[in-house]
């Protein structure tokens, strides 16, 4: 292994650790439980919130996180990942410091929802792009999966740590501990998240795999945001991302509450185990997509997630802690797959030159999905049998998302001097092709570019 490739792995390690810190977002269900208990207990220092608004900081955070990725992606492309991650660490630290000073609804919406949400966007945006640039296209899925796995794996330690801190120090002091820790970790590691030298060419393995071979056969693509937005595949990707992320976040944000009914004070165990599935899904989907193609992998994950949503209805009704943990783990696994697949789609389709901004725009689907599905779920849950309605709605949407993958064949850039074909003509062509090979996506995904 070369010295430069060793440095690439150090970038991966730093980026993954930054995401481990930023993944506190997925421990929101633990914080939400403490806020709810404070509201119910009452008293002078209690949270005086409307119970229906408890999830608002989380919903705003998801939305802010997603749209901050656009600005953060632009910064990552212009000023580099190190400075972008540094900004993220300062914003997250500032947000949690505000949480430690007040229990008001507005302070938490601003602190967690806006400041921390923006910090998550800046830190997360700076982690994956430099790591991908150190490695060959044959490892795109693997590297993306490893880096984003840090974010998904975070609740394994944050869930029990949060539960212990909240039980022993209360909400305000716990938030101060997190503020100091996240500022030191993210800002400190930001200096190790760097792009490779301009003349760096990553080594290609002897057998790079079908996806890498296809990408190598295509002309080099470095589309800007305007070019990306003119291609219909962006909108197909955005919609499938919205569905896959929204359905997963709906469950992740509520799993501690569901588990508490059957597991009591040990509910954090369900959150931690689900996080293992979340992280595992990112790595497995990344490797799998390098082998059989992004589209085939996405179809499998969305279809599997749809089946799990319908299975959730009898599982939740059974009250079985074991079945609930298994269900949450697999839902987390499939949700995590989205966070490895869509960055890889973006790199394959539109290149690395403007990757930060391009993926930042695509990532808005994650935030809008989490916000919309979270609010819809809250509205449905307020009705009799609302939880089951949420699962049914998610299942139907996931089936629709899996069906949309027939439009996600590899992009086929026109050769030099050749006129680009009509987007609608290409759309119809891909639809007809997808209809014929619906059961064999991997063959369609690796056909030569035309």
3-state helix, strand and coil shares in percent for the chain, rounded to the nearest 5: 80, 0, 20
> Rounded to an integer, what distance in angstroms lies between the CA atom of residue 127 and that of residue 21?
12
What is the average pLDDT across 331-343? Answer: 90
148, part of any domain: yes
200, part of any domain: no
Confidence of residue 152 (pLDDT cuts 50, 70, 90): confident
Number of domains into which the chain is organized: 1
Q: Which pLDDT belongs to residue 85?
A: 95
What is the average pLDDT across 223-248? Answer: 91
Q: Which pLDDT belongs to residue 90?
A: 96
> Rounded to an integer, what distance in angstroms lies between the CA atom of residue 369 and that of residue 249?
8
Name the one residue in this structure whose structure tokens are 């150090």. Answer: 10
Q: If we measure between CA atoms, which residue out of 65, 81, 82 comes closest to residue 118?
A: 65
What is the average pLDDT across 401-416? Answer: 70
DSSP class of 422: P
Q: Name the token pair of 447.
A: 């056909």
- 81 has pLDDT over 60: yes
Domain that holds residue 72: 6-194+208-413+421-445
What percentage of the chain has pLDDT greater than the value 70? 81
- 212 has pLDDT over 60: no
What is the average pLDDT across 94-115? Answer: 94
Confidence of residue 219 (pLDDT cuts 50, 70, 90): low
Give the side-chain half-sphere CA count within 13 A for 135.
26
C-beta atoms surrounding 155 within 10 Å: 33
Q: What is the mean pLDDT of the chain?
A: 82
Residues 341-388 have pLDDT tens digits of: 998 899 888 888 888 889 989 999 988 888 888 778 777 776 777 678
**Contact 146/90 with Cβ under 8 angstroms?**
no
203, part of any domain: no
C-beta atoms surrounding 280 within 10 Å: 19
Q: What is the CATH number of the domain that holds 36?
A: 1.20.1250.20
Q: Which pLDDT belongs to residue 56?
A: 87
CA dist 174 → 43, 178, 180 (Å): 19, 6, 10
178, part of any domain: yes
Q: What angle do CA 268, 112, 389 make, to 5 degrees?
A: 60
- 101 has pLDDT over 90: yes
Q: Name the token pair of 270.
A: 């369900």
């Amino acid at each position: 292994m070369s010295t430069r490739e060793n440095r690439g792995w150090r970038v991966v390690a730093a980026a993954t650790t930054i995401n481990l810190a930023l993944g506190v977002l997925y421990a929101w269900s633990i914080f939400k439980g403490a806020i709810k208990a404070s509201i119910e207990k009452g008293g002078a220092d209690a949270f005086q919130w409307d119970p229906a608004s408890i999830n608002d900081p989380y919903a705003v955070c998801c939305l802010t996180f997603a749209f901050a990725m656009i600005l953060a992606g632009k910064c990552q492309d212009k000023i580099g990942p190190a400075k972008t991650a540094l900004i993220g660490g300062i914003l997250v630290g500032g947000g949690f410091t505000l949480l430690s000073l007040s229990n008001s609804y507005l302070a938490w919406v601003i602190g967690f929802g806006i400041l921390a949400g923006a910090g998550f966007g800046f830190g997360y945006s700076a982690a994956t792009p430099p790591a991908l640039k150190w490695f060959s296209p044959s490892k795109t899925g693997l590297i993306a999966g490893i880096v984003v796995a840090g974010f998904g794996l975070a609740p394994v330690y944050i869930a029990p740590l949060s539960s212990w801190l909240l039980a022993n120090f209360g909400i305000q002091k716990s938030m101060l501990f997190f503020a100091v820790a996240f500022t030191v970790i993210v800002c400190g590691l930001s200096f190790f998240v760097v792009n490779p030298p301009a003349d760096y060419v990553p080594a290609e393995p002897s057998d790079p795999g079908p996806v890498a071979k296809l990408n190598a056969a295509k002309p080099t693509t470095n589309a800007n945001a305007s070019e990306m937005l003119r291609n219909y595949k962006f909108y197909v990707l955005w919609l499938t991302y919205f569905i896959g992320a929204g359905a997963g976040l709906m469950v992740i944000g509520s799993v501690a509450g569901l588990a508490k009914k059957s597991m009591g004070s040990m509910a954090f165990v369900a959150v931690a185990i689900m996080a293992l599935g979340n992280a595992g899904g990112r790595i497995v989907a990344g490797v799998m997509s390098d082998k059989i193609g992004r589209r085939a992998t996405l179809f499998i994950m969305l279809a599997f997630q749809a089946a799990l949503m319908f299975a959730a209805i009898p599982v939740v009704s059974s009250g079985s802690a074991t079945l609930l943990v298994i269900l949450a783990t697999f839902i987390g696994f499939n949700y995590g797959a989205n966070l490895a697949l869509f960055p890889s789609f973006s790199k394959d389709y539109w290149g690395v030159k403007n990757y930060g901004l391009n993926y930042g725009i695509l990532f808005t689907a994650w935030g809008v999905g989490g916000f919309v599905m979270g609010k819809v779920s809250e509205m449905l849950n307020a009705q009799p049998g609302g939880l089951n309605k949420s699962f049914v709605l998610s299942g139907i949407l996931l089936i629709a998302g899996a069906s949309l993958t027939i439009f996600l064949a590899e992009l086929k850039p026109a050769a030099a001097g050749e006129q680009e074909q009509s987007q609608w003509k290409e759309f119809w062509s891909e639809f007809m092709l997808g209809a014929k090979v619906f059961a064999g996506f991997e063959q369609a995904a690796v056909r030569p570019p035309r």
